[in-house]
Chain A
C-alpha cells in the first residue's frame, strides 16, 4: 500500500488528536470530578475550618542555638544524619553590597559557627549575620500534592500536608516539586517525609516540638480561630512576609524581619 502525502498528514493529525484526547482531556475531566468529592482547603475566615493554624518565625530573634533541630529529630524519629531533616536553620551573612548570602553547612545541625562559613564567603569579623529557621510551609496550594502518582501525600481538611508512608512508592517527585526543599527521603522507612507542624501534637492542643523548645520565641505557633491566640494579635500588629511568594504556593509560615536575599 502506498499513500499520498495528504492522506499521511491526515492520519498523522488523527494520531495527534487521539493522543491529546487520551491524556489531555480524560484525566482533567476525571480530576475535576475527583476534586468535587474532596473539598480543598477553604479560604481563611470562612468559619468552616475547625483550625486555622499559623506558624510565625521571627528572624530577628533566632540565636541559632539549634535546639529546634534536636527536638524535631527526637520528636519525629528523624534519622540522625544532617541531610535528613524536617526543619533546619540557614545561616546568612551580609555580603559586600549588604545583601544576605546564605552559606548553610549541614543544615545547621553542627550548631552555629562550629563549622564556620565556607572559605568562599569568609567574612571579616563583625559582619552582620542572622539565622533563618525553615520548615514546611503547609502551603494553601501545595505543589507537592498534585504530583504524587499514588495520592500518598495529601492535604488534611485543616490544611496540613501529610504523607501516608504506607502508600509512598519513593519516586521523589514531590521532593522535586517543592520550591522550599522541605521534603527529604527517610532512609529508615524509604519513603518521603516532611515537617507536619507536629500534627500529632497540634491536634491535641500542644505546640509543635520546635516551638516548645525555642528559648527566645523565634518560633511561634497558634490558631487564628482562637480569639485569645497571641499569634493572632501579633499578625494584626506586624507586617509579615513569606518565602518565595512568586511561586504562588500561598505559604502558611509567616516571617518577621525577613531580609533581601533570603530565599
Chain B
C-alpha cells in the first residue's frame, strides 16, 4: 500500500528544513524532531491513498484556518471579530463547547455499558470509544479556550483562588478529571497491543509504542492486570463524567436571572442529551468502521450498529418527551422572560434552528427512520445518528442563545445574535481538528477490537 502523500510531503519538507538546522549546530533538538517526523512517516504507512488523502487535506486546511481565526480573535479582540456583544456574551463557541464535551461524556457512558458494566453487546466499543471521548473533550476545550478572554489565567486561578460555589469551577475540574481517567483508561486498555507494536517497530516509533505500553507488557498476567485496572479507570471516568455533565447543566440551571435556564431540570436534561449524543456518535463511527475497515466488516459490527440504533431510538424518544414538556410547561404561567425566551424559539427569530434543525432534523426524521423497519438498514441507522448530531448541535445553540436574548434591562425588544464568519471558522476548525485526530488515531493507535 502507498503512503499518505500529504502527510508524507509535509514530513519530507520538515526533513529538508531540519537537516541543515541540525548541521548548523542546532544539534540534538533538530535531530530529535526529525526522528519524530520520520517515525510518523513509518506509522502512517498503509492507508488507501487518494480518498483519505483528500479527506486529511481538507481537515488540515480547515483546522489550520480555525486556529488562525482563534489567533485573529485574540489579537484583534473578540469584540471586533466575534458576533457576541455586551448583552449577548455567550455565542456559538460556547454552544460548540457544550456540544463536544457533553457528547464526549455520552460516548464514555454508552461505551462503559460494555467494558465497565459488562453488557456484552456493547463490549466491542472499547478502545475506540474511549479514544473518541478523549478527542471530543479536547475539541470542546479548544472551543471554550477560543471563547474565554484570558484562558491562560484559568490554569493559575482555578487552583490558586478556587471558588467552590461556582458551577463553572466544578465543571472545569470535573471535566479535567474525566479527561485524566479517560487517558489512563485508554493507555491501560491498549498496553498489550502497544507492547506488540513496539516489538514490531524500531526507532522513535518503537519508543512511542514502548512508552505507551508502560514498559514490558507482553506477559499476559501483566495485560490482565492492566485490563482490570482499566475497568476502575472506566468507572472513574463514568462517575466524573456524570458529575461533570450535570454540573455543566447546573452552570445554566443556577442562573436565577435567566428563567429559560433556571431550575433543576437542566442537569438532568444535559445527562439525557449526553446519552443521546453518545449513542449517536458511537453508531456513526461503528458504521464508518464497518465501511472503511476490512477487519471490521463482519456480523459483530453489524449487530453493534443495530444495538446502538435500538439504544438511540429509546433515548431519542425520551429526549423528545423532555422537549415536548419543556415547551408545554414553559408556555403556561407566562413567567416573564421564560415565556418570552420560549416564544423566540417557537415563533421568533430562532424558530428555524428550533423547528427545522432541533425538532425536524434532529428528532422527527431520525425517529421516523429508526421506527421504520425498511428504512432501518445499517446506512439508515448511521444517517439517523448523523441527523441526531446535527439536531443536537442546533439544540445547544438554541438553548445558549435563546436564554440571553430577552434583555434584563429596560429594553423592550429582544436582542440579536448572529455568529460572525470568524466564529464559524473557529467552529469548523474545531470539527476539523476532531476529525483529524480521529483519522490520525486510526493510523497510529490500536483502536479496533482486533487491531
Residues in A neighbouring B166, C-beta threshold 8 A = 146-149, 173
Q: Is A176 an interface residue (CB 8 A)?
A: yes
Q: Verify B409–A180 contact, CB threshold 8 A.
A: yes
Q: A150-B154, A169-B157 are in contact. List 6 more A-B contacts (CB 8 A).
A: A18-B243, A30-B164, A101-B412, A150-B161, A169-B149, A176-B404
Name the distance in Å between A39's Cβ and chain B's nearest Cβ.
16
Q: Verify A187–B79 contact, CB threshold 8 A.
A: yes
Q: Which of A3, A31, A185 contacts B89 (CB 8 A)?
A: A185
Q: Which of B119, B150, B240, B407 contacts A169 (CB 8 A)?
A: B150
Q: How far is the CA of A13 from the CA of B86 in the complex (A)?
A: 43
Residues in A neighbouring B235, C-beta threshold 8 A = 15, 18
Interface string of B100-140 (1 = CB under 8 A from A): 00000000000000001111100000000000000000000
7 chain-A/chain-B pairs, Cβ below 8 angstroms = A147-B254, A148-B163, A149-B162, A149-B168, A177-B256, A185-B79, A185-B86
Residues in B neighbouring A8, C-beta threshold 8 A = 117-119
Question: Which residue of chain B has its CB nearest to the CB of A100?
Answer: B410
Question: Which residue of chain B has its CB nearest to the CB of A247?
Answer: B256
Q: Is A27 an interface residue (CB 8 A)?
A: yes
Q: Verify B149–A150 contact, CB threshold 8 A.
A: no
Q: Is B52 an interface residue (CB 8 A)?
A: no
Q: Which are the 8 A-B pairs with shortest beta-carbon distances?
A: A170-B149, A102-B410, A150-B157, A19-B242, A179-B257, A149-B169, A18-B239, A172-B89
Taking beta carbons and an 8 Å cutoff, which residues of B are in contact with A? 77-79, 85-87, 89-90, 116-120, 148-151, 153-154, 157-158, 160-170, 172, 174, 235, 238-240, 242-244, 246-247, 251, 254-258, 404, 407-413
Residues in B neighbouring A121, C-beta threshold 8 A = 412
Q: Is A83 an interface residue (CB 8 A)?
A: yes
Question: Which residue of chain A has its CB nearest to the CB of B410?
Answer: A102
Q: How far is the CA of A111 from the CA of B73 in the complex (A)?
A: 32
Query: Could you tell me which residues of chain A, from 175 to 196, have a CB within 8 Å of some CB in chain B?
Result: 175-181, 184-185, 187, 190-191
Residues in A neighbouring B153, C-beta threshold 8 A = 150, 167-169
Q: Verify B151–A22 contact, CB threshold 8 A.
A: no
Question: Which residue of chain B has its CB nearest to the CB of A176?
Answer: B255
Q: Verify A3–B164 contact, CB threshold 8 A.
A: no
Q: Verify B411–A104 contact, CB threshold 8 A.
A: yes
Q: Which of B116, B162, B255 contacts A151 (CB 8 A)?
A: B162
Residues in A neighbouring B257, C-beta threshold 8 A = 143, 176-179, 247
In the complex, the number of residue pairs spanning A and B with C-beta atoms less than 8 Å apart equals 178
Query: Could you tell me which residues of chain A, from 5 to 63, have a CB within 8 Å of some CB in chain B?
Result: 8, 11-12, 15-16, 18-20, 22-24, 27-28, 30-31, 34
Q: Verify A132–B410 contact, CB threshold 8 A.
A: yes
Name the distance in Å between B101's Cβ and chain A's nearest Cβ.
15
Name the distance in Å between B149's Cβ and chain A's nearest Cβ.
2
Q: How far is the CA of A88 from the CA of B87 in the complex (A)?
A: 14
Q: Which of A22, A27, A83 contacts B240 (CB 8 A)?
A: A22
Q: Verify A103–B412 contact, CB threshold 8 A.
A: yes
User: With contacts A12-B117, A143-B256, A149-B158 known, is A120 near B413, CB below 8 A?
Assistant: yes
Q: Verify A179–B408 contact, CB threshold 8 A.
A: yes
Name the distance in Å between A238's Cβ and chain B's nearest Cβ.
23
User: With contacts A16-B242, A22-B240, A150-B157 known, is A173 near B86, CB below 8 A?
Assistant: no
Q: How far is the CA of A28 from the CA of B408 in the complex (A)?
A: 29
Q: Is A155 an interface residue (CB 8 A)?
A: no
Question: Which residue of chain B has its CB nearest to the CB of A153?
Answer: B163
Q: Which of A24, A170, A185, A262 contacts B410 (CB 8 A)?
A: A262
Q: How far is the CA of A88 from the CA of B411 in the complex (A)?
A: 12
Q: Is A171 an interface residue (CB 8 A)?
A: yes
Residues in B neighbouring A24, C-beta threshold 8 A = 243
Residues in A neighbouring B242, C-beta threshold 8 A = 15-16, 18-19
Name the distance in Å between A259's Cβ and chain B's nearest Cβ.
11
Question: Which residue of chain B has its CB nearest to the CB of A107?
Answer: B409
Q: How far is the CA of A200 from the CA of B404 in the complex (A)?
A: 32
Name the distance in Å between B315's Cβ and chain A's nearest Cβ.
14
Name the distance in Å between B250's Cβ and chain A's nearest Cβ.
8
Q: Is A134 an interface residue (CB 8 A)?
A: yes
Q: Is A118 an interface residue (CB 8 A)?
A: yes
Q: Verify A176–B89 contact, CB threshold 8 A.
A: yes
